[in-house]
Chain A
């Protein structure tokens, strides 16, 4: 082994050490090990180059890193019950073994991330009910306020109705067109509110949330 090859052996050894004893990078450790062994067991750099090419070691190394990180992301989103964000690691892990080149790998990951980002944006429209909570409270407060008869029409009926009219107008003229820029078939699906990722950000009891959902449908004309 000449000096240059020995220097490369030491370089690959330093890369291997980076992943040693780190459970997060189990696949990367193995693929780095394969690279290290390939160079350490080659008679010269040319043979090493041939091994890298014939066994596709560089691409396998990139795949291993993607696998490690996506496996960690999968576990992470499962724990957090982030169902939509979970789509990206699931789809990447599903496709990662079928790629043959580094460019294919980059394209596959980018395309899936982009696709899932749109799903995440669309899913976040569900949380509009949280943004509307204050208006829903105001509507309820005015509708139910105990006031003398002469004020009932204005306070209990006209004022909340104005708020509802504004809410429906804004929904139809602004919110829905924006949502349909992201998904042309988008419809508000109130049942998603009860899924953990949305439910957990609305810190009020279930019974009250049920009431707010009914109100929300009226407020937005859904």
Chain B
């Protein structure tokens, strides 16, 4: 079965367009033939491979992307040399350069950063058409940093800002910190250049280094969070399983009847303490942390402030009180069970604003994706 057509189109679209453009220009020769053969092979693989991962792997391991790209460069070079081989000299070079920039602006249409990306191109066209000679045009482009601006640095900076804002929206403090450092590095490098435009190569290395430093810290954060989430849930379910409401709760109810439901309840009552103990051992072995460390830990406090904790404050307090009793082969105190029943009866187990976005979150989301997207996803909130 071939790869999904939409996926194949999105992967091959650019290559098809590049091939078509050169074919329309009447390209020929050995390198163009390589482009044609490579394109044909890519199209064939889209029909022969079973899924997108196999397709991508084949395109890469058969070196088709690179073969195409190398042949494209060679064909383009030959075409350009042909166009420039006349007697037009600098005047022709200027004309062709302006033409290329105008063509680039056309190609940018539809790009979300169109306005920003076209600005330096327009500036270059303006200089080119101002009546200066070709070498003066080249010098101005160099001295005013226009060539470097063409690398799209302002879009790169915007993208970092957007990523940072998204991490703020998602309440991921380490990711926010990482993006702040990347931004700081960007601006620091830019400030060292005459036109405040960063050297994209140098910045790329510095950026990788910051990301490299944060990866283990972010992983640690995620593991700690997922461990305490399960530990809290173990105690919560364990205490509730003793409540009179348990047979009616979906956590234990079985479609096969009350016998199975009661069996499920018994399992939670008798096994959760042992499971919790094993989880606490993992928590200690990994991070030398215990149950008591959870509620003051930055991972928990962040989740709490971000309203990412499902339990109400009252339930959390009850879970903390129940924890000392949640040991293998023991049961909770009757008072604790009573309190759990009261919470259940009043449906106050869930934090009222759990997983709701604040006004600040809303503003961040709208800044990133627009009001329509907010209404589409969260309009009912």
Q: Which residues of A contact B (CB under 8 A)?
A: 4, 7-8, 10-11, 14-15, 18, 24, 69, 72-73, 76, 80, 82, 102-103, 106-107, 110-111, 113-115, 117-118, 121, 130, 133-134, 137, 140-142, 144-148, 151, 154-155, 178, 181-182, 200-205, 208
CB distance from B275 to the nearest CB of A (A): 5
A-B contact pairs, 12 of them (CB 8 A): A7-B139, A72-B202, A76-B208, A110-B66, A140-B278, A144-B278, A145-B274, A146-B277, A146-B328, A147-B275, A148-B329, A155-B275
11 more CB-based (< 8 A) A-B contacts, given A73-B205, A114-B63, A133-B223: A7-B139, A102-B77, A141-B275, A141-B278, A145-B271, A155-B275, A181-B57, A182-B57, A200-B215, A203-B220, A204-B287
A18 touches B135 (CB 8 A): no
Q: How many residues of B contact A (CB 8 A)?
A: 53
Q: Looking at the complex, which one of A133, A145, A208 makes contact with B285 (CB distance below 8 Å)?
A: A208
Q: Looking at the complex, which one of A11, A121, A146 makes contact with B274 (CB distance below 8 Å)?
A: A146
Q: Which of B13-41 contact A (CB under 8 A)?
A: none
Q: Which residues of B contact A (CB under 8 A)?
A: 53-54, 57-58, 60-61, 63, 65-66, 69-70, 73-74, 77, 90, 133, 135-136, 138-139, 142-143, 199, 201-202, 205, 208-209, 212, 215-217, 219-220, 223, 226-227, 267, 270-271, 273-275, 277-279, 281-282, 285-287, 328-329
Nearest first, the 10 closest Cβ-Cβ pairs linking A and B are A181-B57, A145-B274, A146-B274, A7-B135, A203-B220, A146-B328, A11-B139, A141-B278, A114-B66, A14-B142
* Known A24-B202, A103-B77, A147-B328; contact A11-B138, beta-carbon cutoff 8 A: yes
Complex CA gap A205/B219 in Å reads: 14
A201 touches B216 (CB 8 A): yes
Determine chain B's interface SS by DSSP, over half rule.
helix
Interface centre among A8, A113, A145, A200 (most CB of B within 10 A): A145
A147 contacts which chain B residues (CB < 8 A)? 270-271, 274-275, 328
A203 contacts which chain B residues (CB < 8 A)? 216-217, 219-220, 223, 286
B282 contacts which chain A residues (CB < 8 A)? 137, 140-141
